[in-house]
Amino acid sequence: MTPQVHRTLLITPAYRDAALALITAVAGEGQSGMLDVPVGAEQDEETAVTHLMSTGNILEPFAALLPLDEWDGEQYVRVQEPNYDTIIAASGGAATQEGLESLFAEVVVTKDGWKETLTNLRLSICDP
């Protein structure tokens, strides 16, 4: 089997559809349920959803295409840039460098578990 690695992924809601289209193009069908956990600021009952989250294993070759962020104690810092060329090729030209840069600016991808990630960012899973 293809090796799997853990990732927690966060994205702002406006970019979810674009992200899912990209995931389908690169990782294949069946992933439309990703990025469906709403998260927002902690202890604020009325807060709108600020991000959508997925957490768990993904295939290592897919992870290699994504950016990677690490917590430096204050913020997530990008330590690996996405592989733009491969992603654009996999999208059949639908994705552009400019579009991807906008998308990945709105994304956090980390090896941290979801609880650690949300604690770092002072976010929590939203009530309905």
Question: Which run of H or E residues covers position 37?
Answer: strand 37-41
Q: Return the residue of 17, 48, 57, 77 that touches other proteins, per CB under 8 A.
A: 57
Q: Find the binder of other proteins among 15, 25, 46, 92 (CB under 8 A).
A: 46
Cα–Cα distance, 30 to 44 (Å, whole number): 34
List the one residue from 14, 16, 17, 37 that touches other proteins (CB under 8 A): 37
Structure tokens at 14: 């406006």
Contact string (CB under 8 A) for other proteins, positions 65-94, x = contact:
------------------------------
51-59 and 68-71 as β-strands: parallel, antiparallel, unpaired? unpaired
Q: Which of 10, 11, 55, 87 binds other proteins (CB under 8 A)?
A: 55
Site string for other proteins, 98-117 (x = CB under 8 A): ---------------xx---
Quickly list H helices, the chain: 16-27, 60-65, 84-90, 97-104, 114-121
